[in-house]
A and B are shown apart, each in its own frame.
Chain A
Amino acid sequence: MLLMLMTKQGQEKLARDMAEIAKKKSQWGDVWKRLFRNKRGVLGMGIVVLLLIFVLGANFFTNYDYAVQDVTNRYGMPGREHLMGTDNYGRDIFTRLLYGGRISLMVSMMSVIISGCIGIALGSIAGYFGGRIDLVITRLLDILMAIPALLMAIAISSALGSGPVNTALAISVSGIPHSMRIMRSTVLSIKSNDFVEAARATGSKHMRIIFRHILPNTVAPLIVNSTLQIGGNIMAISGLSFIGLGVQPPTPEWGSILAAGRIFIRDFWPIIVFPAMCIMLTVFGFNMFGDGLRDALDPRLKD
């Protein structure tokens, strides 16, 4: 080392080495960079972030209460007082949408987490161990998959009753087969890599192989899948609430707001257009964001 420092060549080499260490960035840094280069991904992320800011900080953006009725001020058109007007009870639509978004987002995320956890567990067991276990898990979930998702959700929520948690459960059940299949195929493709065999050759036990070598490599497709599912779940919750099975009034939820307003569709447009736009934009934002993430996380597209 000392000898290296004495020669000019040695110094330069050392400087180059140091630069190389500095240049080394984490893999997630690359992902961010690629995500920011993708215009649609950034657009989607922007929508999602804005939405989260508005929904989580609802108290800061409005002075109204979502449940308080103001009969003197029904059917108010959008204006300075009420950004999106007021509904048939004189409640501020903007406020109801902000608080309703909390429920929609919370419930859809909850159901993604529930179906994700079960799906990951089943999928990694089926994919890793294969054989008979795989056959049983896959067939059982195939049966589940054969039942239309919305019908299933309707059946479950009418059995469990309404409310945010039950709605989340109802929707997550139909999401399980999907997450499980994605997980299973990802695990299968990772399992075929030599490094899994290398881990076995160095004496690692099954659990260690799954948790240290396989699961970390499945993060990318899972994130993408979850993001895309959130959008889909918001639609499903709105659907359930629309037919009266999801969240009950007066708790605002985008679907129930839409359902309550549907009789005024000819006479008073703000009550329908704004919640519909919220759902549309959110689903659009999550889908764009998910697509962007998928491109950013796909190593084959690395430049």
Chain B
Amino acid sequence: MAELLKVEHLKKYFATPAGQLHAVDDVSFVINKGETLGVVGESGCGKSTLGRVVLKLLDLTDGRIVFEDRDITSISEKDSIALRKEMQIIFQDPYSSLNPRLCVSELIGDPLIVYKMYNKDGRQKRVYELMDLVGLARRFAFSYPHELDGGRRQRIGVARALALSPKFIVCDEPVSALDVSIQAQILNLLQDLQAQQNLTYIFVTHDLSVVKHISTDILVMYLGVMAEKCESKELFRKPYHPYTKGLLSAIPVPNIDHVKRPVELLGELTSPIEPKDECRFLARCKYATDVCRQGAPTYQEVEPNHFVTCHNVREINNL
């Protein structure tokens, strides 16, 4: 299958008074056309930053981004604006992501004005098309965001992202702020759109059940580094990294026949500022050995297309 986006050794550091904050540290992946890469992790693991760096909304510190066989790592401001037509983003918060002073039709039509597409009538027609596409009744065209509920607002966000017919969309926790029944509606919508328009997604979320449902591949992040990456179903059958194991055991399962595993992950996230040269997960890992203290583990392919960053992955999993 055709490769759409390739990211190599991507790094994003932020300068803080206490030192360099390693938000994203050496992340590499490839996404094929029409597929979805799920990025999971807890708050502060760098997953949202990753999405924004890939879209070039944030400058990267180091690494390479290749989009449709074109190196976009250091393109000019003008080229990057042209690129925005191909890459879009859907935000988590359906409240703060919509300008309260614009009505629905202006919100969805805004990107069209920026790129001077269509005349006024054509634009309105396109807005209605988009509203139909995302299941937003046309009668809301002149409503303001504060008059609508979270689900409808999120549909506006989806319509706006689709306005320029992009090939690639970063979904940054698009359903986390929504109720379950609405969440399911939006997930179905995103899946339908992907099938119709052959869209490619990066789906950033903290919710493992959502990510399993929608993704082709899953990347688990911990404190800016990749912990594990493999095919979606495989991750749930064979989690190899101790962090993935802990994460899976922590999810409450809505099934009373499910046998509850004891809590595996103790303690909390350590600081991402100037991390030492050791395994980042060390402080919370119950399998930690001396090797883990002596250097950061490398990202290795333990099984075909199953990558893990852990020194002791073979010992832990009897591979």
Contact = CB atoms under 8 A, between A and B. Distances in A.
Contacts, number: 72
Interface string B111-143: 100110000000000000000000001010011
B139 A201 contact: no
Interface residues of A, number: 24
Given A198-B160, A200-B57, A217 B88 contact: no
Contacts of A202: 84, 88, 110-111, 114, 160, 163-164
A204 B97 contact: no
Contacts of B100: 27, 217, 299
Contacts of A24: 142-143, 147
B139 A195 contact: no
A203 B99 contact: no
A20 B139 contact: yes
A195 B85 contact: no
Interface string B89-102: 10111001111110
A27 B147 CA distance: 10
A200 B57 CA distance: 7
Contacts of B137: 17
Contacts of B163: 202
Contacts of A192: 96
B84 to A, nearest CB: 4
B89 A201 contact: yes
Contacts of A131: none
A180 B93 CA distance: 30
Contact of A198 (B82, B85, B91): B91
Is chain B's interface secondary structure helix, strand, loop, or mixed overall?
Answer: loop
Nearest to B52: A197
B144 interface: yes
A3 interface: no
A106 to B, nearest CB: 31
A203 B101 CA distance: 19
B114 A201 contact: no
B99 A204 contact: no
B55 interface: yes
Interface in A183-202: 192-195, 197-202
Residue with the greatest number of chain B CB neighbours at <10 A, chosen from A17, A202, A205, A299:
A202
Is chain A's interface secondary structure helix, strand, loop, or mixed overall?
Answer: helix
Interface residues of B, number: 33
Contacts of B85: 203
Given A201-B89, A203-B111, A203-B115, A217 B99 contact: yes
A195 B84 contact: no
A204 B57 contact: no
Given A204-B114, A216-B101, A217-B100, A198 B142 contact: no
A39 interface: no
Contact of A201 (B57, B98, B99, B101): B57
A2 interface: no
A199 B88 contact: no
A217 B101 contact: yes
30 contacts: A17-B137, A24-B143, A24-B147, A27-B100, A27-B101, A193-B96, A194-B91, A195-B97, A195-B98, A198-B97, A198-B98, A198-B157, A198-B160, A199-B110, A201-B57, A201-B84, A202-B84, A202-B160, A203-B114, A203-B115, A204-B110, A204-B114, A205-B81, A212-B99, A212-B110, A216-B99, A217-B99, A217-B101, A299-B100, A299-B146
Q: Which A-B residue pairs are the 3 nearest by beta carbons?
A: A194-B97, A202-B111, A203-B84
Interface of B: 52, 55, 57, 81-82, 84-85, 88-89, 91-93, 96-101, 110-111, 114-115, 137, 139, 142-144, 146-147, 157, 160, 163-164
Interface of A: 17, 20-21, 24, 27, 192-195, 197-205, 208, 212-213, 216-217, 299
Given A27-B144, A193-B96, A199-B99, 6 more contacts: A17-B137, A24-B143, A194-B91, A201-B89, A202-B164, A205-B81
